[in-house]
Amino acid sequence: MIRKVKGTRDILPPETTLWNDVERTALRIFGGFGYSEIRLPLLEPTELFVRTVGEGTDIVSKEMYTFADRKGRSLTLRPEGTASVARAFIENGLGQRPQPLRLSYFGPMFRYEKAQRGRYRQFSQIGIELLGAATPAADVEVIVALHTFLAELGFDDLIIALNNLGDPEDRERFIAGLKTELTPHRDELCGDCQRRWEENPLRILDCKVQRCRELVAETTPVADVVSEDAARHVAAVEAGLQEASIPVRRAPRLVRGLDYYLRTVFEVISPELGEDTVICGGGRYDRLISDLGGAAVPGVGFAIGEDRLVDVLPQSFKDRALEQRIVAVLPVGGAAAAQATSLARDLVLSGVTAHTEVTGRSLKACLKWATKMAASVAVILGESERADGVALIRDLDRGEQETVALGDVVARVAELLQARR
């Protein structure tokens, strides 16, 4: 048996309905804020991610699906979306469009990690990017849009955590200070943190080991070390969010895994999945486009993990999304088959979902099948009805049945399904 590649998954109906609804809602809400969808390649030159995400990050150093194409060029299956948006911005001269530019995207990303719940090698993200605005108001808008989207899905228990990473210069200073403060206790840090000391000192901040947490708690938070400008910026973002009634929690130890973030960084975590499993991560990246050789265009955005989001979707949303109003079209006897299909077409065009019985089974089996298909109404096209130019319409929930002229079937079915809501 051929099996799916590790870390990928088959998303089957009816779960696909959830995904469709989530994506539709994203397009509606983000689109409503002025973000238009951009569709980008899944395949990019490896260098794009090395230069933007950062050579030292886990993503680039060990998690990328990288391979050589037939001409020896190094290509990579995108591990995230923002780098591609930046590349496309430069390549397509999007700086010539009215600024700022608001873009949204969704689709699969790839990271070579060991899979577990909520973490797959192929996973989907939904993101937006606001390019060409450096103001706190831009950050506020992005987070308000995020919150609006999540609220629209029915979430009311999600936590938005916010931190200030300062500018790159601040960060270097901060790391130096952090190390100085921790040096006396360096040997008390856990094994992972010993490693992080050299490789990724910022990560020491969000270590889960109790002793590390205690030690880190004694150190000066990043936000206290950043420049005046950066501090003012994030303070303004916070104030703006407060004014918009967005519940935000300051997270002095919040760190992100991509090098390009600066100043505002934020995450959304779900109590259900636990604090370690981030549903959404984002922040500001004012140097990303210029680092790629473009103009000095600031940006801010986020990416939502769609797999994780769907995993914890509120029941209310699922119920609504999975609610269906279906009519089953049941021809009895082979002669009615074609008639059934064209009746189904009329029903479909009238906006309802019509499942047509095409295996030629008995009426009894047809009705059983209709029930299993979750149909609320069945249209029965039998021999005698054919002769009279009528059809039987059966209300499957109530068990009531009526005879209707063929020409009135669509209207009557619509009525019955309407009453069902």
Tell which one of 85, 101, 297, 303 touches RNA (CB under 7 A).
303
* C-alpha torsion angle, residues 349, 351, 353, 356 (rounded to 10): -20
Q: Does 189 contact RNA by CB under 7 A?
A: no
Residue 299, strand partner residues: 131
Chain center to CA of 61: 25
Q: Does 255 contact RNA by CB under 7 A?
A: yes
Q: Which is nearer to RNA, 80 or 286 (CB)?
A: 80
Tell which one of 29, 226, 278, 347 touches RNA (CB under 7 A).
278
Q: Which is nearer to RNA, 60 or 347 (CB)?
A: 60
Q: How far apart are CA 191 and CA 369, in angstroms?
A: 60
Whether the CB-CB separation of 50 and 79 falls below 8 Å is answered with no
One symbol per residue from 74 to 93: x for binding RNA (CB under 7 A), - otherwise; what is it?
------x-------------
Q: Which is nearer to RNA, 208 or 320 (CB)?
A: 208
| DSSP three-state, residue 56 | coil
Stretch binding RNA (CB under 7 A), from 15-23, 129-137, 150-158, 356-364: 356-364
Q: How far apart are CA 266 and CA 367, in angstroms?
A: 53
Q: How far apart are CA 232 and CA 323, in angstroms?
A: 48
Q: Does 249 contact RNA by CB under 7 A?
A: no
CB of 203 to RNA, least distance (A): 4
Q: Does 36 contact RNA by CB under 7 A?
A: no
Q: Which residue, chain included where needed, has tokens 């205690």?
A: 214
Enclosing H/E stretch for 239? helix 228-243
CB of 256 to RNA, least distance (A): 6
Q: How far apart are CA 410 and CA 93, in angstroms?
A: 51
Q: Does 332 contact RNA by CB under 7 A?
A: yes
Stretch binding RNA (CB under 7 A), from 31-39, 132-140, 149-157, 359-367: 359-367
Residues 6+ apart with CB under 8 A from 157: 270, 271, 272
Tell which one of 203, 253, 412, 420 touches RNA (CB under 7 A).
203
Q: Does 326 contact RNA by CB under 7 A?
A: no
Contacts 24+ apart (CB under 8 A), 59-66: 59/111, 59/257, 59/258, 62/112, 63/111, 63/112, 63/113, 64/110, 64/111, 64/112, 65/110, 65/111, 65/112, 65/121
Q: Does 315 contact RNA by CB under 7 A?
A: no
CB of 8 to RNA, least distance (A): 8
One symbol per residue from 116 to 155: x for binding RNA (CB under 7 A), - otherwise; what is it?
xxxxx--x-x------------------------------
| Residues making contact with RNA (CB under 7 A) | 3-4, 6, 9, 57-59, 63, 80, 111, 113-120, 123, 125, 192, 196, 200, 203, 207-208, 255-258, 267, 276-281, 303-305, 307-308, 332, 359, 361-365, 367-372, 380, 382-385, 392, 394-399, 401
